[in-house]
Amino acid sequence: MMELTVNGQEQKFNFGMKFVREMDKLHEVTQYGMEFSMGLQMTMTQFLGMGSLIALSDILKAANHAAGGKLTTEKLDSFFDDEETDINAISEEVKKVLEEGKFTKVMVAQIEINQAAAEARLAQQA
């Protein structure tokens, strides 16, 4: 469980199984007539691999909803826009929680392996 003060209100964030379900609602891919939930993979790749703030917002919103909260995208946008908000510190905290999470640590490790391999291929081409 993680806690942050968002717009003056203490908010809880849970990265358990309910978080995984919330994340997977974000993106579905249809292949061979079947639908696959890919929200967690796609969003974590965007966040960890590209530093996407939209992905960070989606992760925080899903984790808050998993903890029973009602944060909205608008409230998170306002929080990020606040000059006092240290987005880098929040990103690092979320990354650490994902790296250690029961349901996310294997995926984080695989994303990091894939990213390192891609960077190595690019370096060889240069």
Tokens of 50: 């590209």
Take residue 56 and report the two structure tokens written for it.
């960070």
Separation CA 54–CA 120 (nearest Å)? 27
The pTM (predicted TM-score) of the whole model is 0.88
pLDDT by residue for the chain (126 residues), tens digit each? 899 999 999 999 999 999 999 999 888 788 888 887 888 999 999 999 899 999 999 999 999 999 999 999 999 999 999 999 999 999 999 999 999 999 999 999 999 888 888 888 988 887
**Spatial CA neighbour of 57 closest among 83, 36, 26:** 26
The pLDDT of residue 39: 87
Distance between CA 63 and CA 21 in Å, rounded?
10
Domain boundaries, the chain: 2-125
DSSP-assigned states of every residue in 77-95:
HHHHHSTT--HHHHHHHHH
As a whole number of angstroms, the distance between CA 71 and CA 9 comes to 10
Backbone angles phi, psi at 68, to 5 degrees: 95, 5
